[in-house]
Amino acid sequence: MTGTPFEPKLEMRDQGRTHLLRAFVSFAGGYWSGPTARAAGLLSLGLVACLIFKLLVDVGMNRWNRWFFDALERHDTGGAALAAFAFPVLVFFVAAVGVGILRCRETLQVRWREWCTEKLLDRWLSGRRFYRMRVARDGMENPEYRISDDVRMATEPLTDFAIGLFTAVLTASTFVVILWTVGGGLNVSLGGYHFHVPAFMVIGALVYGCVVSAFMPLVGGQLSGAVAARNEAEARFRAEMITMRENAEAIVRTQGEGHARRQLTRTYAALTKSWLLVVGQHARITWLTNGNAAMVPVFPLVLAAPKYLAGDLSLGEVMQLTSAFVQVQIAIGWLVDNYSRVAEWVASARRIVELNEVLDQAESASQNGVPIIARATTHGSDVEIEGLRLLRPSGESVIAKAQARFSPGDRIIVSGAAGVGKSSLLRAVAGLWLWGEGEIRVPAGKQICYVAANPFLQTGRLSEVICFPDGLEAHSTAACLRALEICGANDLAERIDENDHWDHVLSASEKQRVALARILVTRPDIVILKHAFSCFSAMEQIALFDCLARMLPFSTLITTGGAAGLADLHSRRFVLERDETGEVRLTERGADLLQPARGSQPVMRVLK
């Protein structure tokens, strides 16, 4: 595999995390504007109110600590009993504010993820970007994993981070005041010199927190890259399993289970390696986080011990200072405690930003420097191909020159030697081939149907499959049954309302009959038939095409492949052939073909 698909990622990574944060906020911050602004604002304000109330409850708990322990030190039975009776009230408020935070936070996360997912789905599906990304060489692997999993992993933690930072600022501001006022200053004698350290508990808390926080990026700086590699490996493993399931019959027919298993084993081995790299980074971080967790409750006791032993602090004040010190460390040490989650968020946010950038590139005028065919609509009734030159993604020429005009009711066959570019030309007309020069103009509002040898049949009711893409409400069940009968698929009539995975349960010939029945029901304006009759005998091919020609008199039918006699039912013939310079050109040779025959054998007699 070449490195090309990943160039957009590397370019974005080189721009740094500032660009990442700015790009992600530019995309995801749209939830707080437009139609969703009111709901997002109310949820955000509710969350802020709950967080402020939680701070008040935490301050109340801090004061309760001093009240209770001072009562114990004074042997004040009444005061201790009163504090004990007041404690359940504080517990109630602690629980209530926790419920409020949880409801606001998780609702905000769900709604924000919903908005981001819908936004990405709209961009991915509109303008055929999902197809362009798949066939373009500067696409990316597994965009569906980014839309499903990475959106969740990029939005949920960010909400928690915002809560954590907001709480940290409020907590640090509040409890630093307690450390300052309750702890006071400390007199220190050292080598005959006497020093007075003002607000010594505040200084100790800030120095301790800053030192620990500074070590975290040094210890776990490679975690975000390891997480990104793990996510990509997870997506690749999942995609290969889905591909194996969707092609299960083909694999079994060729006895390829062993090869498929070996491929999955290799992919999972790479996934395991990625996971172990993440585990190693987590282990390094755990040295710091666990050590910090053990040190934080003890360090303030050591700082306050000299003043307590000197009688300048009561036991309740020491416990109040310890509680306040821990709260300040929680605020200052937010990065320490959340570094793993921050790294995971960076990895997921980067993948979302990359997806957005590739979606932007999918609509650009060129891809990898290769121009994109211009498509336009016309108010006339003809399909117009003007100065068309088809290129491969590498820039190599496929068809040097193509000029044509197709009118409603035309029956066109495209022929030429194998590999000369027939399929590429038909795909270009259908809008499936991206690279080239010139213009293809299609009548406004006209529907194009492209039927390949292995047509796509979605999961669902068979009647819905036949009515695709119009929908069952646009056509009657009777029309579906009649189309199946005409196409020689009477045995499927009794299953018209069944739900199944038709792409897997039907044989190749049955899928082609259903695809042709779909054409008869939906009646598209332009029908492209690429080896669409390959499963049938020559007589069946002639009968089926004659049926389409008779029942769709105003549709343009474009065919490639098929039995020799099929050409006699077409009114125009185009040939792709190489000239003396080796370039492939499209020329029309219509004089040697017949008009669609009207005296051919009745369709049903042949198909039965």
Residue-wise pLDDT tens digits, 52-92:
888 888 888 878 887 888 888 888 888 888 888 888 888 89
Mean pLDDT value across residues 96-108: 89
Phi and psi for 348 in degrees, rounded to 5? -70, -40
* pLDDT(123) > 80: yes
Looking at mean pLDDT, say which of 21-35, 250-264, 504-518 comes out highest: 504-518
Please state, in angstroms and rounded to a whole number, the distance separating the CA atoms of residues 320 and 283. Answer: 33
Confidence grade of residue 5 (pLDDT, cut at 50, 70, 90): very low
Question: Which domains are assigned to the chain?
Answer: 4-364 (1.20.1560.10), 370-607 (3.40.50.300)
Confidence grade of residue 559 (pLDDT, cut at 50, 70, 90): very high
CA angle 447, 448, 450 (to 5 degrees): 150
CA distances from 523 to 155, 381, 451, 555, 562 (A): 44, 16, 13, 8, 22
Please state, in angstroms and rounded to a whole number, the distance separating the CA atoms of residues 370 and 394. Answer: 7
102, 107, 108, 112 alpha-carbon torsion, rounded to 10°: 140
Q: What is the overall mean pLDDT for the chain?
A: 81
Mean pLDDT value across residues 391-417: 89
Beta bridge pairs of residue 385 = 404, 440
Mean pLDDT value across residues 305-322: 81
The pLDDT tens digits for 140-174 are 667 877 888 788 888 888 888 888 778 777 777 77
Confidence grade of residue 487 (pLDDT, cut at 50, 70, 90): very high
Produce one character per residue of 481-512: b if its CB has 16 or more CB atoms within 10 Å, e if not: bebbbbbbbeebeebbeeeeebeeebeeebbb
The pLDDT tens digits for 341-390 are 777 788 788 888 888 887 877 666 556 677 888 888 888 899 999 999 99
Confidence grade of residue 115 (pLDDT, cut at 50, 70, 90): very high
Confidence grade of residue 581 (pLDDT, cut at 50, 70, 90): confident
Please state, in angstroms and rounded to a whole number, the distance separating the CA atoms of residues 603 and 513. Answer: 14
Which of 76-85, 235-244, 248-257 is predicted with the least confidence, judged by mean pLDDT? 248-257
Quote the pLDDT of residue 218: 74
* pLDDT(562) > 90: no
Q: Which of 486 and 131 is assigned the larger pLDDT?
A: 486
* pLDDT(518) > 70: yes
Quote the pLDDT of residue 12: 42
